[in-house]
DNA sequence: CTTTAATTAGTAATAATTACTAATTACTTG
DNA sequence: CAAGTAATTAGTAATTATTACTAATTAAAG
């Protein structure tokens, strides 16, 4: 995806293609999400948009994100009970720090599961690696070594 | 793990080894979980134990499961906002039917992430494949072909 | 410009999980 | 074996992310 691909125009076209109306909240949400590859919870996204769109309700953000996920424009997965939306729809894995909650993409070494699952119609998958990020790992070492 | 390995005695030993007291609820929970490789939400497990242990509170089940996960005796991950506890601690993946909620183990084709993540201290990971199980796939085909 | 159905904002409801507390109980020590 | 005590439990209340509902608004078609 080349830089600046997600202009207001390309987003509008895409929304209409999927039968969704072009509204200010949707444009704002798509811009924020698609402009960069990033991870958002609905709440985080709502907080970031609040200054620019003070009347936008959390409800709208939740609904819109689920719609975007339904049409495959973004992906969603779950960490510790929180739904995370990911604008990177390519197959890839994630590393999550159980201490500071940092979440980063991993280059995928994924392959589809073996053929004995051929009867399933698998659509998407992500692996979530859980552990400690470099910073928290170091803190843990320092603390325990005291 | 050989059959019938998880007797009341082996469970007691293991709990004490980790500094946990041996109580009736813990024995019951461990027996149910470890006796077979299976997936449980806290609620499901509480429901299954209720007939035999009518006074056991949901709270106890939640707490105990988190303790068992903390000492690495079981694993936990999250599907659609529900925490699932897994007594199979070997690295493996899962397939989840987004329609009927069926969850099955997949033989793992997982490897640890590439070396550029070497600074992370990754502890565990599971990939969750989302899609349709054979039954729901067939239903979908039948319906749409009408 | 009108019409109409989709969308929105706001509020209320839901449901899984955690927090809190008094009573109980497993384990330790004498 | 008999306390003592600290962990554990059951029950209830609180929390929090998410969804449901509804009246008002608005995008898009005619």
Query: DSSP secondary structure string, B19-37?
Result: T----HHHHHHHHHHHTS-
B80 & B8 share domain: yes
Q: Which nucleotides of chain D does any protein CB come within 7 A of?
A: 7-13, 17-21, 26-28
3-state secondary structure chain A: CCCCCCCHHHHHHHHHHCCCCCCHHHHHHHHHHHCCCCEEEHHHHHHHHCCCCCCCCHHHHHHHHHHHHHCCCCEEEEECCEEEEECCCCCCEEEEECCCCCEEEECCCCCCCCHHHCCCEEEEEEEEEEEECHHHHHHHHHHHCC
Q: Closest residue of B to A93, CA-based? A: B127
- First-last CA distance in chain B: 48
Residue B113 near chain A (CB below 8 Å)? yes
**Predicted local distance difference test score (pLDDT) of residue A116:** 61
Q: What is the DSSP letter of B1?
A: -
Look over chain B and give the mean of its residue pLDDT values, rounded to a whole number.
Answer: 89
**Predicted local distance difference test score (pLDDT) of residue B109:** 61
Q: How many CA atoms lie within 13 A of B134 on its CB side?
A: 5
**Predicted local distance difference test score (pLDDT) of residue B146:** 39
B136 & B80 share domain: no
Look over chain A and give the mean of its residue pLDDT values, rounded to a whole number.
Answer: 89
* Helix (H/G/I), strand (E/B), else coil: B97: strand
- Residue pLDDT, tens place only, B124-142: 889 999 999 999 988 877 7
A79 & A102 share domain: no
Q: Which of A52-61, A103-112, B109-118, B123-132 has the highest mean pLDDT?
A: A52-61
Overall domain count for chain B: 2
Confidence class of residue A29 from pLDDT cuts 50, 70 and 90?
very high
Confidence class of residue B49 from pLDDT cuts 50, 70 and 90?
very high
Are B81 and A80 an interchain contact pair (Cβ–Cβ within 8 Å)? no
Residue B145 predicted with pLDDT over 80: no
Boundary-marking domain end, from B52, B74, B89: B89
Q: Which nucleotides of chain C does any protein CB come within 7 A of?
A: 6-12, 16-20, 25-27
- B-facing residues of A in 55-84 (CB < 8 A) are 77-81, 83
Calculate mean pLDDT across residues B51-56: 95
Boundary-marking domain end, from A55, A73, A89: A89
B124 & B77 share domain: no
A113 & A71 share domain: no
Contact A86, A74 (CB under 8 A): yes
pTM: 0.90
Residue A118 predicted with pLDDT over 80: no
Q: How far apart are CA B101 and CA B115, in angstroms?
A: 35
CATH number for position A106 = 3.30.1490.190
Boundary-marking domain end, from B53, B69, B89: B89
- Lowest-pLDDT choice from A74-88, B54-68, B97-111: B97-111
Please identify which residue in the block is written with the tokens 């997949």. Answer: B106
A35 & A98 share domain: no
A13 & A74 share domain: yes
B70 & B13 share domain: yes
Calculate mean pLDDT across residues A83-87: 96
Spatial CB neighbours of B113, under 8 Å, sequence gap ≥ 6: A93, A95, A106, A107, A109, A129, B120, B122
- Residue pLDDT, tens place only, B3-28: 678 899 999 999 999 999 999 999 99
A74 & A98 share domain: no
B15 & B62 share domain: yes
CATH number for position B44 = 1.10.10.10
Are B113 and A119 an interchain contact pair (Cβ–Cβ within 8 Å)? no
Q: Which residues span the domain enclosing A134?
A: 91-146
Residue B57 predicted with pLDDT over 60: yes
A3 & A17 share domain: yes
A77 & A98 share domain: no
Q: Which helix (H) or strand (E) holds B39?
A: strand B39-41
Q: How far apart are CA B74 and CA B87, in angstroms?
A: 5
Calculate mean pLDDT across residues B23-49: 94
The minimal CB distance from B122 to the residues A117, A121, A131 is found for A131
Which residues on adjacent β-strands are paired with residue A78?
A: A83
């Amino acid at each position: 995806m080349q830089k600046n691909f997600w202009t207001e125009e390309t987003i509008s076209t895409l929304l209409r293609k999927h039968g969704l109306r072009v509204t200010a909240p949707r444009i704002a949400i798509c811009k924020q999400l698609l402009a960069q590859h990033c991870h958002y919870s609905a709440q985080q996204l709502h907080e970031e948009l609040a200054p620019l769109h003070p009347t936008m309700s959390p409800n709208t953000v939740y609904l819109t994100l689920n719609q975007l996920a339904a049409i495959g424009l973004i992906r969603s997965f779950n960490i510790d009970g929180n739904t995370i939306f990911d604008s990177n729809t390519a197959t890839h894995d994630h590393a999550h720090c159980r201490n500071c909650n940092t979440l980063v993409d991993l280059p995928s070494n994924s392959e589809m599961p073996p053929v004995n699952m051929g009867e399933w119609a698998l659509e998407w998958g992500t692996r979530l690696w859980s552990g400690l990020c470099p910073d928290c790992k170091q803190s843990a070492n320092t603390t325990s070594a005291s």
